[in-house]
């Protein structure tokens, strides 16, 4: 792998810090403080045991985002983040429905579109985490510095 590829992976991995700071930490603090609004929202999506899923999502976003950003245990953390973002993009924000509306294959009222919210950020995070899960952490990561074996980066 070239240095350019490793720099590209580093830039993709840095999205993990964005997930941590923008989404995960706030959810984690709210849940720890007894706020169940996020869990209630997951329940409305039809997820069983919504409080458990809320904690899993908050931990995946916070701890997973941190680990991806650092490039540590990347082959485990990136898929966890990707799954969380897939649920956000397609479960909560209805990305697939938005696409159908944009293509003129489905109609939706402005109120419905507003209720779905905007899936773009979740889709962007999803793409970053899938790319990192497929490629590994790269040379500029803790996985690589620690030998890479079993952590998602091949020692070069």
Angle at the Cα of 144 from the Cα atoms of 152 and 87, rounded to 5 degrees? 35
Tokens 């700071």 belong to residue: 21
Residue 96, C-beta contacts closer than 8 angstroms, at least 6 positions apart: 90
CB burial of 9-40 (b: ≥16 within 10 Å; e: otherwise) equals: bbebbebbebbbeebbbebbebbeeeeeebbe
SS3 of residue 41 by DSSP: helix
The answer to whether residues 54 and 42 touch, using CB atoms and an 8 Å cutoff, is yes
Residue 64, C-beta contacts closer than 8 angstroms, at least 6 positions apart: 16, 19, 24, 77, 78, 80, 81, 84
pLDDT tens digits in sequence order for the chain, 156 residues long = 789 999 999 999 999 899 888 889 999 999 999 999 999 999 998 999 999 999 999 999 999 999 999 999 999 999 999 999 999 999 999 999 999 999 999 999 999 999 999 999 999 999 999 999 999 999 999 999 998 654 445 544
Quick one: which of 75, 61, 55 has its CA closest to 21? 61
The Cα 134–Cα 151 span in angstroms is: 13
Ramachandran region, residue 5 (left: φ > 0; alpha: ψ -120 to 50; beta: rest): alpha
């Amino acid at each position: 792998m070239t240095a350019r590829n490793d720099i590209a992976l580093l830039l993709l991995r840095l999205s993990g810090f964005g997930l941590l700071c923008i989404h995960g930490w706030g959810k984690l603090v709210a849940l720890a403080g007894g706020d169940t609004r996020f869990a209630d929202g997951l329940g409305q999506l039809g997820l069983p045991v919504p409080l458990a899923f809320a904690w899993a999502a908050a931990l995946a976003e916070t701890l997973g985002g941190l680990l991806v950003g650092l490039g540590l245990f990347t082959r485990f953390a990136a898929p966890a983040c990707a799954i969380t973002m897939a649920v956000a993009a397609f479960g909560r924000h209805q990305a697939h429905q938005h696409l159908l509306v944009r293509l003129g294959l489905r109609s939706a009222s402005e109120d419905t579109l507003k209720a779905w919210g905007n899936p773009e950020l979740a889709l962007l995070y999803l793409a970053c985490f899938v790319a990192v899960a497929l490629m590994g952490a790269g040379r500029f990561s803790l996985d690589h510095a620690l030998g890479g074996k079993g952590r998602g980066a091949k020692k070069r």
